[in-house]
Amino acid sequence: MRKRKKRIVIVFLFVAAFLAGQPCVSTFASDAQAYLLQSDALRTKLVVEGGQVCCVARVRGQDGTTEIYMTMYLKGVSDKGKVIVDETWSGIRTTKEYLNAIKSCAVKENCTYTLMVVATVVSNGVSETISQRCQLTT
């Protein structure tokens, strides 16, 4: 029952994260690249719920996408400037046209969290790497 409740909460957080929207910064593999060729969107969100900081990411490829893979980096810095959370989740991958990922860790008070997501979308043998960063202060 507890696992089911946790799944329901995570799904709720995932939906809420994308409905609420949060300003994030996007960067591309090449500064000259002004538009996306292989991917339609990358969205990221940080949410604090039930003693956990939840990192949510969604990337959507265009028609013909054959693979998407991503790495999520979470860093938490205390108000005194000390790094107290340093997590990396890699190997997140799919062969579909979209990829959703939710990762979490215990939340620390008086901390600024930065989530960086780097995703690569492969379509017809051509790859495109995009990234996005979000911040949250507890």
pLDDT per residue as tens digits for the range 38-80: 556 788 999 988 889 999 999 988 888 899 999 999 999 999 9
What's the mean per-residue pLDDT of the chain? 78
Which structural domains are found in the chain, ordered by start?
A: 2-137 (2.60.40.10)
Q: What is the pLDDT of residue 78?
A: 93
In order of 2, 50, 79, the CA distances from 73 in angstroms are: 27, 21, 20
Select from 26, 58, 53, 33 the least CA-distant residue to 43: 58
Select from 112, 113, 95, 93 the least CA-distant residue to 104: 113
Assess whether pLDDT exceeds 60 at residue 37.
no
Q: What is the percent of the chain where pLDDT is above 90?
A: 44
Structure pTM? Answer: 0.73
Exposure string of 1-30, with b = 16+ CB inside 10 Å and e = fewer, is eeeeeeeeebeebbeebeeeeeebeeeeee
Q: What is the pLDDT of residue 22?
A: 42
3-state secondary structure of 4: helix
3-state secondary structure of 15: helix
